Amino acid sequence: MEGELGWWGVLIAVLGGAVRVSTPYLFVALGETLTERAGRVNLGLEGTLVLGAMTAFATSVLTGSPWLGVLAAGFAGLCLGALHAVICNLPRVNDIAVGIALFVFGTGLAFYLGKDFIQPRAEMLPGLPLGDWSEIPAIQSALEISPLFLLGIALAFFLDWALRRTRWGLLLRMAGENAEAGRALGLSVPRIRLAATAAGGFLSGIGGAFLSLDYPGNWNEGLSSGQGLMAVALVIFARWNPIRCFWASLLFGGATALGPALQTVGISSGYYLFNAAPYMLTLLLLIWASSPRETLVGAPRELSISR
Amino acid sequence: MSGTDTTDAPANGRWPESLRSLLGSAGSGGLEAVLLSALALVVAFFLFGVFVTVQGHDPAAVYRTLWLGAFGTRFSIENTLTLAAPIILTAMATLIPARVGLLVIGGEGALIMGGLGAVLAGVALAGLPGLLGIAICCAAGALAGALWLAFAGALKHWRGVNETIATLLLNYIAIAIMLHLVTGPIRDLAVPIKAQSWSIPEAFRMGDIPGWSVHWGLLIGVAVVACVHVLTRHTVTGFSMAILGGNRRAAQMAGLDIGRLTLLACAVGGAAAGLAGAIEVVAVHGAASESLVVGFGYTGILVAFLARQNALAVLLVALIIGGIAASGGLLQRRFGMPDAATDLLQGMIFLCVLASNALAGRLLPGGR
């Protein structure tokens, strides 16, 4: 069937992939947006993503409930985020370096504890079949939407509103824009950042749950290959705006789906290079979005990464 | 600490301090630096001990095995030294850029590009005398690694692209390029079971140090460390780098060529990691393949931080971390532990080292 559709099949697969693959990007990017708007960079979300994937999968295998797995993954991410914040709250500690350490620690922990779960199959998250009106399997599978994807969209709009309109959004932004002013008002900036980083870790953990509990529903050590890292770069491209994070996630999802999509029509010679498309896209967007002169538009002022 | 500085100083005014944490206690007492790293190691080992106990292992037995696998026998010492060789070199890829205040973590990618460079040079130059061929392979690897990370340095200087994210992305891109080449354009079709590149000529294979089954790459690594030490501590360029790393504004005032220093630091660091890849090819594998991607680059980052960005300290630290890596196999066989056990321990050490920076200046009486 794929063959008959030819290049249309590639397009449908890329678009479908954009929707499917964008979910982990979206969750990590939203989490990182929260963290960075409070003035911290957590570069360790790749480790959080992997640990979340393992935790979700193991929980689903052991309890038979994928949604419990999602929750457990979020909790694991929350712990890693809190660890990042606690260490960064110490004096003379570089937040980017701590992120790298957490990346190593998170993946190491996930691979250690996840060794026993490489074989079994877990209860997967159900998909919403929004493509049943079509006769074409390619379209049906492209429109098999994960509920986490819809949750992610809702979350993007909610965070955008909450950051602008709520009291805690204001506090969080104050910690990120002008910690001095926050301190003058008697706020505990470290505590705000702890909450923001832990919440960011929670969301990233859920992104990891998608990796292991959505189709095809297995856990292995190659499950994430830098999505957590690319999502951090994506936040810069999205200018720390949750709704733009959503659009950027779709773009990255499409780029990630390109390699496998081309393979279905028999183009496999440049397979590894096509698979590297998202990394190259990230680098190009980063080059485009950065500037040597002025501070980046929309960047929280307290952020070390965007200076 | 005013928040009004423009372009170069960070908006939050925290940079000098966070940079000092990048450089470790390079400026202050050496004894304190040693104590902090030792303390971090002890705490990390303790935490790992708690972890394996929870996992149902006897921590004392685990540590005995760790020692046995790292330094307990002649075989394990040779194993440790062989692993330390590339780690020493990849540590330089983080250490040298840190001198100018950059956090570069692209050692893994530079190592892979170095390995590819060595293979291409070796295959192209078949027929040359062995020693010359080895030298050219190593030079080609170093050049490839230097260009790879200099690219990140250029992006940083001219486009303001964050060097940490850029170099991490370049790692993934390097792996993709290598896999593309060894599965297609330069694949050795005579090796059906594994996708690997053409092999370099036998004459270009680097041998072992006489009397040891440790290849010469170890001594090359030691020599590079000596050169880096001289470069960073005893030359005008090294001093300029330290000024740039300590205070960008002051470097500008002093009229230093910031672009040149940034590029140079990245290129030299990349050259060291590229050399590590070349040595892995000429001394161990004889060809490029997925075997090059074993995380030496990431281990090098940890080593650079644990050595507090001090080149000479890297030698000792690489032995310790190399020993941990070398004992992984034995831990796996004796206790049925996953191979990620040593990665986990490394991650714990990394976190403890960074946290230990908080104690800088407080550990010894009369500290800064």
Express each pLDDT in B241-286 by its tens digit: 999 988 888 888 888 999 999 999 999 999 999 999 999 999 999 8
The pLDDT score that the predictor gives to residue A204 is: 96
Q: Indicate left, alpha or beta for A240 from its phi (over 0: left) and psi (-120 to 50: alpha).
A: left
The pLDDT score that the predictor gives to residue B70 is: 93
The pLDDT score that the predictor gives to residue B23 is: 53
Cβ pairs bridging A and B (under 8 Å): 175
Residues B100, B274: contact at Cβ < 8 Å?
no
Q: pLDDT digits over A185-226, tens only? A: 888 999 999 999 999 999 999 999 999 998 667 888 888 878
pLDDT higher than threshold 80 for residue A305: no
Beta-carbon contacts of A44 under 8 Å, excluding residues fewer than 6 positions away, are A80, A84, A98, A99, A100, A101, A102, A103, A105, A106
Owner of token pair 């050692």: B107
pLDDT band at A288 (very low <50, low <70, confident <90, very high): confident
Q: At what angle do helices A7-37 and A45-63 cross, to 10 degrees?
A: 110
Owner of token pair 């947006």: A33
Q: At what angle do helices B328-335 and B341-356 cross, to 10 degrees?
A: 120
Are A92 and B15 in contact (CB < 8 Å)?
A: no
pLDDT band at A294 (very low <50, low <70, confident <90, very high): low
The pLDDT score that the predictor gives to residue A2 is: 43
Contacts of B343 in chain A (CB under 8 A): 104, 107-108, 111-112
Q: Shortest CB distance from A97 goes to which of B17, B155, B354?
A: B354
Contacts of B164 in chain A (CB under 8 A): 43, 96, 100, 305
pLDDT band at A275 (very low <50, low <70, confident <90, very high): confident
Helix or strand or coil: residue A144? Answer: strand
pLDDT band at B89 (very low <50, low <70, confident <90, very high): very high
Q: Indicate left, alpha or beta for B170 from its phi (over 0: left) and psi (-120 to 50: alpha).
A: alpha
Phi, psi (deg, nearest 5) at residue A62: -75, -35
Q: Are strands A144-145 and A128-129 parallel, antiparallel or unpaired?
A: antiparallel
Phi, psi (deg, nearest 5) at residue B215: -75, 165
Residues B335, B60: contact at Cβ < 8 Å?
no
The pLDDT score that the predictor gives to residue B312 is: 92
Residues B294, B87: contact at Cβ < 8 Å?
no
Average pLDDT over residues A81-107: 92
Contacts of A89 in chain B (CB under 8 A): none
Phi, psi (deg, nearest 5) at residue A118: -75, -35
Are B357 and A90 in contact (CB < 8 Å)?
A: yes
The pLDDT score that the predictor gives to residue B42 is: 95
Q: pLDDT digits over B149-164, tens only? A: 999 999 999 988 989 9
What CA–CA distance (Å, rounded) separates B272 from B104?
Answer: 13
The pLDDT score that the predictor gives to residue B150 is: 97
> B302 in contact with A at a CB cutoff of 8 Å?
yes
The pLDDT score that the predictor gives to residue A289 is: 82
Residues A184, A7: contact at Cβ < 8 Å?
no
Are B343 and A107 in contact (CB < 8 Å)?
A: yes
Q: How far is CA B354 from the centre of its chain?
A: 17
Q: At what angle do helices B59-67 and B328-335 cross, to 10 degrees?
A: 140
DSSP annotation of B283: I
pLDDT higher than threshold 50 for residue B3: no
Q: Shortest CB distance from B169 goes to which of A105, A270, A282?
A: A282
ipTM of the complex: 0.88
Are A94 and B105 in contact (CB < 8 Å)?
A: no
Q: pLDDT digits over B303-361, tens only? A: 999 998 889 999 999 999 999 999 988 999 999 899 899 999 999 999 999 999 888 87
What CA–CA distance (Å, rounded) separates B181 from A273?
Answer: 10
Helix or strand or coil: residue B196? Answer: strand
Report the alpha-carbon angle A101-B322-A222, nearest 5: 50
Percentage with pLDDT > 90 across chain A: 43
Q: Indicate left, alpha or beta for B255 from its phi (over 0: left) and psi (-120 to 50: alpha).
A: left
Beta-carbon contacts of B148 under 8 Å, excluding residues fewer than 6 positions away, are B106, B109, B110, B113, B170, B174, B270, B274
Are A276 and B177 in contact (CB < 8 Å)?
A: yes
pLDDT band at A295 (very low <50, low <70, confident <90, very high): low
Closest CA to B237 of B86, B96, B35: B96
pLDDT higher than threshold 90 for residue B220: yes
pLDDT higher than threshold 50 for residue A263: yes
Q: How far is CA A231 from the centre of its chain?
A: 5
The pLDDT score that the predictor gives to residue B324 is: 93
> B123 in contact with A at a CB cutoff of 8 Å?
no
Q: pLDDT digits over B110-130, tens only? A: 999 999 999 999 999 888 888
- Nearest-neighbour CA in chain B from A261: distance (Å): 17
Distance between first and last Cα of chain A: 51
Tokens representing B183? 């599965």
| A-proximal residues of B, 1-40, CB under 8 Å | 3, 7, 10-12, 14-15, 17-18, 20-22
Average pLDDT over residues B58-74: 93
Residues A44, A229: contact at Cβ < 8 Å?
no
DSSP annotation of A6: T
Q: Shortest CB distance from A96 goes to which of B3, B15, B164?
A: B164
Average pLDDT over residues B42-57: 94
Question: Rounded to whole angstroms, what are the CA distances from B155 to A12, A72, A142, A238, A292?
Answer: 35, 40, 37, 20, 9
Helix or strand or coil: residue B208? Answer: strand
What CA–CA distance (Å, rounded) separates B60 from A75?
Answer: 32
The pLDDT score that the predictor gives to residue B8 is: 37
pTM of the prediction? 0.88
Tokens representing B91? 């540590």
pLDDT band at A282 (very low <50, low <70, confident <90, very high): confident
The pLDDT score that the predictor gives to residue B11 is: 38
- Nearest-neighbour CA in chain B from A84: distance (Å): 9
The pLDDT score that the predictor gives to residue A215 is: 66
> A222 in contact with B at a CB cutoff of 8 Å?
no
- 10 Å CB burial of residue B54 (0-12, 13-18, 19+) is exposed
Are A105 and B14 in contact (CB < 8 Å)?
A: no
Bridge partner residues of B289 (DSSP)? B196
What CA–CA distance (Å, rounded) separates A139 from A132?
Answer: 9
The pLDDT score that the predictor gives to residue A113 is: 92
- Most confident range, picked from B99-103, B264-268, B286-290: B264-268
Residues B15, B9: contact at Cβ < 8 Å?
yes
- 10 Å CB burial of residue B341 (0-12, 13-18, 19+) is buried
- Nearest-neighbour CA in chain A from B212: distance (Å): 32
The pLDDT score that the predictor gives to residue B14 is: 38
Bridge partner residues of B187 (DSSP)? B197
b/e A195-226 (16+ beta carbons within 10 angstroms → b) = bbbbbbbbbbbbbbbbbbbbeeebbebebbbb
pLDDT band at B15 (very low <50, low <70, confident <90, very high): very low
Are A293 and B17 in contact (CB < 8 Å)?
A: no
The pLDDT score that the predictor gives to residue B18 is: 46
Closest CA to B280 of B184, B200, B360: B200
Q: Where are the beta strands (DSSP E) in A44-155?
A: 128-129, 144-145
Question: Rounded to whole angstroms, what are the CA distances from A222 to A111, A214, B59, B288?
Answer: 10, 15, 30, 21
Question: Rounded to whole angstroms, what are the CA distances from A296 to A99, A195, A299, B226?
Answer: 21, 25, 5, 40
What CA–CA distance (Å, rounded) separates B257 from B265?
Answer: 12
Percentage with pLDDT > 70 across chain A: 93
Reported for B333-340, long-range contacts at CB under 8 A and 24+ positions apart, including other chains, are B334/B61, B334/B65, B335/B57, B335/B61, B335/B62, B335/B65, B337/A112, B337/B52, B337/B57, B338/A111, B338/A112, B338/A115, B339/A111, B340/A107, B340/A108, B340/A109, B340/A110, B340/A111, B340/A112, B340/A115
> B195 in contact with A at a CB cutoff of 8 Å?
no
What CA–CA distance (Å, rounded) separates B194 from A294?
Answer: 49
What CA–CA distance (Å, rounded) separates B112 from B106?
Answer: 10
